[in-house]
Amino acid sequence: MSLSCSPQNVLTFYPPLTQDQTLTLTLTNTGGVPLLFKISALCNFTQVSTARRPNDIALTAPQCAIAASTDRLEPGATVTVCMILQALPHEPPARAACECTVVIAHAAVAPGHAWLAGERAADFWDAVPRAAVRETTVHYRRVDEATSARC
């Protein structure tokens, strides 16, 4: 059971974060058995003032919408997953810490299991043993406008 993702470790997004950001992740089943995957994302920007007092910490958690967050992937097949980081009401300062992670859980579909796209994926994930689930983590990286050139 093997799943490769591109980019492997980091998804990059650019300011302004007051506009929706679309990021893509390409998943490929490099193994010989069908896989089921599910993707979850968590994103927080932590803003700490220069005074660094506990009362000066503010958390902003944008929503991340994921198209094709759960699907079956046949051996050798590739799927492109679109993630939309929804716009923030205000641009976080350049020094704001970014703690954004995408977790891709995947498990082999057992021979004889007829799970098909469109069925309740929760039923599959409830039935699969935790030891059979593999996870890949990809982190977001925010690139500040002043220090980057957009590709």
Going residue by residue through the chain, which has 151 residues, state the pLDDT in tens, using 9 for 90 and above: 689 998 877 778 778 888 888 888 899 999 999 888 988 887 776 665 544 444 444 444 567 888 778 888 899 999 999 888 888 888 877 777 777 788 889 998 876 666 555 566 667 777 777 888 888 777 666 666 433 333 2
Q: How far apart are CA 71 and CA 125, in angstroms?
A: 12
Give the global pTM. Answer: 0.73
Q: How far apart are CA 51 and CA 43, in angstroms?
A: 24
In one letter, which amino acid is 29?
Answer: N
For residue 117, give both structure tokens: 């796209």
pLDDT value at position 54?
46
Structural domains of the chain ordered from first start? 3-144 (2.60.40.10)
How many CA atoms lie within 13 Å of 139's alpha carbon, on the beta-carbon side? 7
Q: How far apart are CA 50 and CA 99, in angstroms?
A: 19
Kind plus residue range of the DSSP H or E element containing 82: strand 78-85
